[in-house]
Amino acid sequence: MNYFAGLDIGSTAIKAALVNERGERVGSHVTASGSLFQRNAKEALARLLEQSGVAREQVKYLIATGYGRKLFKEADDSISEITANAIGAHEAGKAFGGVQTIINIGGQDSKAIRIDADGHVANFAMNDKCAAGTGRFLDVAARNLEIDLEELGDYHFNGSEAPLTINSTCTVFAESEIIGLLAGGHAKEAIVAGIHFSIAKRTVRLAKRVGIEERVYFDGGPALNRGLVAAIEDELQRELVVPEQPQTTTAFGAAILAWEEYLAEREGEE
């Protein structure tokens, strides 16, 4: 059987996804980007193929996307993460009745995308890379609070103090604000909840710029943070659609496009 791969090479993580010749997801893998994008992307792909029992020669087409897409020379093509995210969310969203608004929070930036009924990008908006509403901000916050990143969701729900307000719109200044709140004796739980609600407000404002449809799909690594999910849902006043593997939606979209490109080339040769 033939297979088709997508590699989403982000600033903090590399996501690899594989689909078969029916366009069905076969597997996915996530690893840290590190500083050696080319080598780590190769290793991520190799690990995914090993886990899926697929030989490299069975991968007939590979598309790279994300921050480091131009650095992966073995790709057959590369596309923007906006397009790949839209394709992946459109396909994954079918199981939830279809989605047309996408919120993606990545390591360096946040995006809001509105797609049409066929999965084509109708509008999109991105935040400033310095803005305190990205995965990087959550990393910095967890480090200053001296808790694991994976614990942020639990801290959100375990506090007795009301969520604190985080006003800074820049990660650097927000970090200073967090340190000041800690020095003032405030509970970590209240600070974490405040961080989540701060990100939620900025994220929903971004989504409103492109138009919010009935179902909103949330992906990217921070979508694994149930506290952040709850905060965005509270701000939106509706339930989010969160896939089982939110980090890999964009890689899945690239793999779907690789499959479609391969089929189009084959048809053109006949």
Contact present, 156 and 196 (Cβ < 8 Å): yes
Domain count of the chain? Answer: 2
**Residue 193 resides in a domain:** yes
Return the pLDDT at 18.
Answer: 98
Distance CA 188, CA 176 (A): 15
DSSP 68-91: TGGG-TT-SEE--HHHHHHHHHHH
Q: Are 143 and 42 in the same domain?
A: no
Over 80: is that where the pLDDT of 169 sits? Answer: no
- Rounded mean pLDDT of the chain? 92
Higher pLDDT, 233 or 174: 233
Closest CA to 81 of 245, 244, 219, 263: 219
Return the pLDDT at 168.
Answer: 74
105 CB-near residues (< 8 Å, 6+ apart): 133, 134, 135, 199, 203, 218, 220, 221, 222, 223, 228
Share of the chain above pLDDT 70, in %: 97
What is the mean predicted confidence (pLDDT) over 94-107? 94
- The owner of tokens 């029916």 is 22
**Residue 9 resides in a domain:** yes
Distance CA 240, CA 216 (A): 5
Over 70: is that where the pLDDT of 270 sits? Answer: no
Amino acid (1-letter code) at residue 56? R
Q: Are 197 and 251 in the same domain?
A: no
Q: Are 230 and 102 in the same domain?
A: yes
**Residue 134's pLDDT band (boundaries 50, 70, 90)?**
confident
Backbone angles phi, psi at 83, to 5 degrees: -65, -45
- The owner of tokens 């942020």 is 152
Q: Are 104 and 231 in the same domain?
A: yes
Q: Are 146 and 107 in the same domain?
A: yes
Distance CA 185, CA 176 (A): 15
Q: Are 209 and 126 in the same domain?
A: yes
**Residue 16 resides in a domain:** yes
Q: Are 18 and 122 in the same domain?
A: no
Distance CA 3, CA 5 (A): 7
Q: Are 40 and 104 in the same domain?
A: no
CATH at residue 260:
3.30.420.40
Q: Which range marks the domain in which residue 145 is found?
A: 97-238
Min mean pLDDT across 34-38, 44-48, 127-131, 146-150 is at: 127-131
Distance CA 189, CA 195 (A): 10
